[in-house]
Structure 1
Amino acid sequence: MRTYDSEVGEVEVPADPQRIVALTNAPNVLALEGNIVGVDEWTGNNPLFSEKLEGIERVSETNVEAILELEPDLIIAGSHMQNLDMLEEVAPTVVYTWGQLDYLDQQVEIGKLLNKEQEAMDWREDFETRAQEVGEQIKAEIGEDTTVSVIENGDKEMYVFGDNYARGTEILYQAMGLAMPEKVEELALESGIHVFSQETLPEVAGDYIVLSLPSSVDNSFTETETWNSIPAVQNAQVIEIATEASTYSDPITLDHLLETFEEGFLH
């Protein structure tokens, strides 16, 4: 065992955990090849992780008994979750508060927890270098002031994102330094997300649009006059991403999206 300094104090954790139940941050654990035996449903349904999570139990903090049956030696949970006291009785439990750490620091923190801090730091340095290089190429190609909006379709409304709400926003705005439309800065930079109606799409559209499309909703808005009147659409400057594969900011997702953006902006 070793002592891990968590956000709520010191926790005695295994030096080399072999049976991790990850109710949150599972993709960060997967990126470091942690031994997961139980995972939350949302991560389990993500197509980027399906192969790595084949045969792994889907669990929730609402069913502590199911977690107990997996005999975990480490549980990773969100500070907002229920039954944290009961989980602590099952196995050493480390909690994280969403948004308390940025996407890079979060990976390093999971590295510390799994006794793989150097590996996580090496990834961070490598990723930052690669993303910056691609960003410079993109800006050279499209122009320093060319703006990019990240928009997602929902059931009854749409969303535009700031610079820290997954869907590649951390890569585009933080790592690459691409420009955000002023209107989006005003609406979404502080909150991370802004809800709007389809009719106001042109107001938040950048010169380029990264369009997050969930498979579970009606995406026929792309056939409307409002959508097709947007310059980014008319200029074929829309990069589509699958919502289900872009809702995290872990190394696996980031590498996938970096490749997608490199292809979308430069080819």
Structure 2
Amino acid sequence: MNEIPVEPKRIVAEEYLGSLIALDAIPVGAPGLTLENMYFKEALTSVTDTGTYGQMSPENIIALEPDLIISGMADSYDTLSRIAPTIIVPYGNLKDAHEELTYFGELLGKEQEAKDWLVQYDERIAAAKAKVEASIPADATFSILERADKSIRAYGDNFGRGGQPVYQAFGFKPPADVAEEIMDKQWAEISNEVLHEYAGDYLIVTDNVLTLQDYKDDPIWGSLPAVKNNHIYVWKEERSWYYDPIAVLSQTEELAAWLTA
């Protein structure tokens, strides 16, 4: 059952939607959360919602008669592989846009499309990086943070929220004392009491509620050097949460524009 077709025509993709779109391999189905991705929403008008992200409905998938299913969840293999040939690529196995596009280009018989897309990607990333390097000291430290109702988290270079642009594309580092923890585990839950230890010279903060002014007015956040120096960028999760190659490219150019404004 699990012999992968050479050029699949009806793909259901629980994960890696951005790479499929970059390769012009629009799937027939994907879970609702991934369909909300603002970076390529307009390309998905013909894609069927297969259910909750991480819990796709077998009934919905069967109805789509797929010839290939792509997932990141190993524990879904038994269920999915009974429906159609299934590929499991656990999140984190592919470390960046190059690994991801190259892998799916080979899988789908679209090697040339992958190469062509990555050439443009590299050119735009390099242009953004050059702009930033001309404006920001190379030894400046950066923190990727997310604030929710009752928690603050710091993130590494492969967990969305701006980590890929800042740490991978631009090559900046987190504050030295916490760098190993953040890059090794990819995230850390932190409290207000230790926030200053995790706060670098620049802060990229995901927050669906508070504004930039709220951070400046807050007694704890407002005391951080980055906030005093206006080195804080606040964006909503609809822009920061995604980590596919298309989103990372847009985020890199967005953050470069802020850093060089």
The root-mean-square deviation of aligned C-alpha atoms, in Å, is 2.2
What residue is the counterpart of 1:33 in the other structure? 24
Higher strand share: 1
Is the 1:152–1:160 Cα contact (8 Å) retained in structure 2?
yes
Is the 1:149–1:184 Cα contact (8 Å) retained in structure 2?
no
Aligned residues: 254
Is the 2:204–2:233 Cα contact (8 Å) retained in structure 1?
yes
Q: Partner of 1:90: helix, strand, or coil?
A: coil
Task: Find the aligned partners of 2:38 and 2:259 in 1 and give their Cα distance.
Answer: 23
TM-score w.r.t. length of structure 2? 0.87
Structure 1 residues 182 and 23, CA, compared in 2 at 3 Å: closer, same or farther?
same
- Structure 2: which 5+ residue stretches go unaligned? none
Deviation at 1:159, TM superposition (A): 0.9
Deviation at 1:201, TM superposition (A): 2.2
Deviation at 1:229, TM superposition (A): 1.3
What residue is the counterpart of 1:12 in the other structure? 3
Is the 1:173–1:179 Cα contact (8 Å) retained in structure 2?
yes
Is the 2:125–2:249 Cα contact (8 Å) retained in structure 1?
no
Task: Find the aligned partners of 2:223 and 2:15 in 1 and give their Cα distance.
Answer: 40
Partner AA of 2:80 in structure 1: L
Q: Partner of 2:88: helix, strand, or coil?
A: strand
Of 82, 107, 115, 1:89 maps to 82
Deviation at 1:199, TM superposition (A): 3.6
**Superposed counterparts of 1:144-223, under 5 Å:** 144-213=138-207, 215=208, 218-219=209-210, 222=215, 223=217
Task: Find the aligned partners of 1:120 and 1:240 in 2 and give their Cα distance.
Answer: 32
Q: Partner of 1:184: helix, strand, or coil?
A: helix
Of 239, 247, 253, 1:259 maps to 253
Is the 2:70–2:87 Cα contact (8 Å) retained in structure 1?
yes
Structure 1 residues 139 and 179, CA, compared in 2 at 3 Å: closer, same or farther?
farther
How much identity, in percent, do the aligned residues show? 33
Structure 1 residues 168 and 128, CA, compared in 2 at 3 Å: closer, same or farther?
farther
Task: Find the aligned partners of 2:13 and 2:142 in 1 and give their Cα distance.
Answer: 34
Deviation at 1:195, TM superposition (A): 0.8
| Greater RCO (Cα-Cα under 8 Å, separation 6 or more) | 2
Task: Find the aligned partners of 1:32 and 1:98 in 2 and give their Cα distance.
Answer: 19
Of 79, 104, 114, 1:110 maps to 104
What residue is the counterpart of 2:93 in the other structure? 100
31-40 or 53-62, which moves further after superposition?
53-62
TM-score w.r.t. length of structure 1? 0.86
Task: Find the aligned partners of 2:130 and 2:41 in 1 and give their Cα distance.
Answer: 33
**In the alignment, does 2:215 pair up with 1:224?**
no
What residue is the counterpart of 1:73 in the other structure? 67
Task: Find the aligned partners of 1:246 and 1:17 in 2 and give their Cα distance.
Answer: 31
Partner AA of 1:53 in structure 2: L
Partner AA of 2:172 in structure 1: L
Is the 1:26–1:43 Cα contact (8 Å) retained in structure 2?
yes
Q: Partner of 2:226: helix, strand, or coil?
A: helix
Structure 1 residues 70 and 15, CA, compared in 2 at 3 Å: closer, same or farther?
same
Partner AA of 2:130 in structure 1: E
Of 40, 59, 77, 1:49 maps to 40
100-109 or 54-63, which moves further after superposition?
54-63
Is the 1:107–1:250 Cα contact (8 Å) retained in structure 2?
no
Deviation at 1:67, TM superposition (A): 0.5
Of 129, 132, 155, 1:138 maps to 132
Task: Find the aligned partners of 1:95 and 1:179 in 2 and give their Cα distance.
Answer: 31
Is the 1:157–1:198 Cα contact (8 Å) retained in structure 2?
no
Task: Find the aligned partners of 1:261 and 1:116 in 2 and give their Cα distance.
Answer: 30
What residue is the counterpart of 2:49 in the other structure? 58
Q: Partner of 2:82: helix, strand, or coil?
A: helix
Deviation at 1:55, TM superposition (A): 4.7
162-171 or 257-266, which moves further after superposition?
162-171
